[in-house]
Chains A and B, each alone.
Chain A
Amino acid sequence: MSTNPHILVIDDESQILRALKTILTEKKFRVTTASTGEEGLTLAAAVQPDAIILDLGLPDMDGLTVCERLREWTQTPIIVLSARDQEHDKVLALDRGADDYLTKPFGIQELLARVRVAMRHLTQTHGSKEMVIVAGKVKIDLTRHRATREEVEVKLTATEFKLLAHLASNSGRVLTHRSILTHVWGEPEADNIEYLRVSMRQLRKKLEDDPAQPQFLLTEPGVGCRFMSEEN
Chain B
Amino acid sequence: MTQAQQLHFALRNFKRLDHAASSKSREDVELSHEFYPPVLSGRSLDGGDHPVYRHIALLYLRLCAQHQRHCSPLSLAYWTHRLAFRIRRGRCRLHPRLLRPQLFFIAPRFTFNVSHWQDWIVLFVLLLESSAISYWVNHAQTSLDEARARERETTHLYELSISLAGLRSEEDIAFAIAEHLKDIFEADAVEVLTFTAPHRTIKTYRIPKGDAATAAQPSHSVQLITPRGQLGEIRLWQWGSPFQPKDDQLFNAFASISALAVERVTLAQAEARGKILEESDRLKSALLSSVSHELRTPLATIKAASTGLRSGEVEWGASASQELIAAIDEETDQLNRLVGNLLDMSRIESGALKPNKQWDTLSDIVSSVLSHNRRTLENHQLDVDVSDDLPLVAVDHSQIDQVVTNLLSTSVKYAPRGTTIRIHARPNVDFTMMNVQLSNEGPHVPDEHLTHSFDKFYRVTAADRVTGTGLGLSICKGIVEAHGGRIWAQNLPKGFAFNFTLPLMWEGARPKIANSEQHMADSG
Binding site for B on A (CB under 8 A): 84-85, 87-88, 105, 157-160, 185, 192-195, 197-202, 204-205, 211-214, 219, 221-222
Whether B111 is near chain A, meaning CB under 8 Å from some CB there, is: no
Whether B23 is near chain A, meaning CB under 8 Å from some CB there, is: no
CB distance from A163 to the nearest CB of B (A): 10
- Contact call B367/A214, Cβ cutoff below 8 A: yes
- Contact call B517/A198, Cβ cutoff below 8 A: yes
Q: Chain A residue with minimal CB distance to B333?
A: A105
Q: Which one, B343, B387, B519, contacts A212 given CB within 8 A?
A: B387
CB distance from A189 to the nearest CB of B (A): 8
CA distance A88 to B521 in the complex (A): 33
Q: Chain A residue with minimal CB distance to B512?
A: A194
Q: Which residues of B contact A201 (CB under 8 A)?
A: 361, 388-389
Known: A194-B512, A194-B513, A221-B398. A85 touches B343 (CB 8 A): yes
CA distance A85 to B365 in the complex (A): 18
- Contact call B358/A222, Cβ cutoff below 8 A: yes
Q: Which residues of B contact A160 (CB under 8 A)?
A: 520, 524
Q: Which residues of A contact B515 (CB under 8 A)?
A: 195
- Contact call B360/A197, Cβ cutoff below 8 A: yes
- CB proximity to A under 8 Å, residues B490-518: 511-513, 515-517
Q: Chain A residue with minimal CB distance to B516?
A: A195
Given contacts A158-B523, A221-B360, 15 further A-B contacts (CB under 8 A): A84-B343, A105-B336, A157-B520, A160-B520, A185-B519, A193-B359, A194-B513, A194-B516, A197-B359, A202-B520, A212-B386, A219-B361, A221-B368, A222-B356, A222-B398
- Contact call A194/B392, Cβ cutoff below 8 A: yes
Q: Chain A residue with minimal CB distance to B369?
A: A221
CA distance A195 to B360 in the complex (A): 11
- Contact call A157/B358, Cβ cutoff below 8 A: no
Q: Which residues of B contact A202 (CB under 8 A)?
A: 520
Q: List 7 A-B contacts (CB under 8 A).
A: A85-B343, A158-B523, A195-B512, A202-B520, A204-B388, A212-B386, A213-B367
Known: A105-B332, A194-B511, A198-B517. A221 touches B388 (CB 8 A): no
Q: Chain B residue with minimal CB distance to A201?
A: B388
Mark interface residues in B380-397 (1 if CB within 8 Å of A CB, else 0): 000010111100100001
CB distance from A216 to the nearest CB of B (A): 13
Q: Which one, B343, B368, B384, B520, contacts A199 given CB within 8 A?
A: B520
Whether B274 is near chain A, meaning CB under 8 Å from some CB there, is: no
Known: A105-B332, A194-B511. A219 touches B364 (CB 8 A): yes
Interface of B is mostly: helix
CA distance A212 to B387 in the complex (A): 7
CA distance A84 to B364 in the complex (A): 19
Whether B443 is near chain A, meaning CB under 8 Å from some CB there, is: no
CB distance from B348 to the nearest CB of A (A): 14
- Contact call B524/A157, Cβ cutoff below 8 A: yes
Q: Which residues of A contact B358 (CB under 8 A)?
A: 193, 222
Q: Which residues of A contact B153 (CB under 8 A)?
A: none
Q: Which one, A105, A158, A212, contacts B367 given CB within 8 A?
A: A212
Q: Chain B residue with minimal CB distance to A84?
A: B340
CB distance from A13 to the nearest CB of B (A): 16
Known: A192-B516, A212-B386, A221-B401. A87 touches B392 (CB 8 A): no
Q: Chain B residue with minimal CB distance to A107?
A: B329
Q: Which residues of A contact B365 (CB under 8 A)?
A: 221
Q: Which one, A84, A88, A158, A192, contacts B512 given CB within 8 A?
A: A192
Known: A84-B340, A222-B397. A197 touches B392 (CB 8 A): yes
Q: Which residues of B contact A88 (CB under 8 A)?
A: 356
Whether B44 is near chain A, meaning CB under 8 Å from some CB there, is: no
Q: Which residues of A contact B392 (CB under 8 A)?
A: 194, 197
Mark interface residues in B342-361 (1 if CB within 8 Å of A CB, else 0): 01000000000000101111
CA distance A198 to B514 in the complex (A): 10
- Contact call A157/B523, Cβ cutoff below 8 A: yes
CB distance from B390 to the nearest CB of A (A): 10
Q: Chain B residue with minimal CB distance to A157?
A: B524
Q: Chain B residue with minimal CB distance to A195?
A: B516
Q: Which residues of B contact A158 (CB under 8 A)?
A: 523-524
CB distance from B189 to the nearest CB of A (A): 53
Known: A105-B336, A194-B513, A212-B388. A87 touches B398 (CB 8 A): yes
CA distance A219 to B511 in the complex (A): 18
Q: Which one, A159, A197, A204, A214, contacts B524 given CB within 8 A?
A: A159
CA distance A158 to B363 in the complex (A): 25
CA distance A221 to B401 in the complex (A): 9
Most buried by B among A158, A213, A221: A221
Q: Which residues of A contact B368 (CB under 8 A)?
A: 219, 221
CA distance A158 to B358 in the complex (A): 26
CB distance from A8 to the nearest CB of B (A): 26
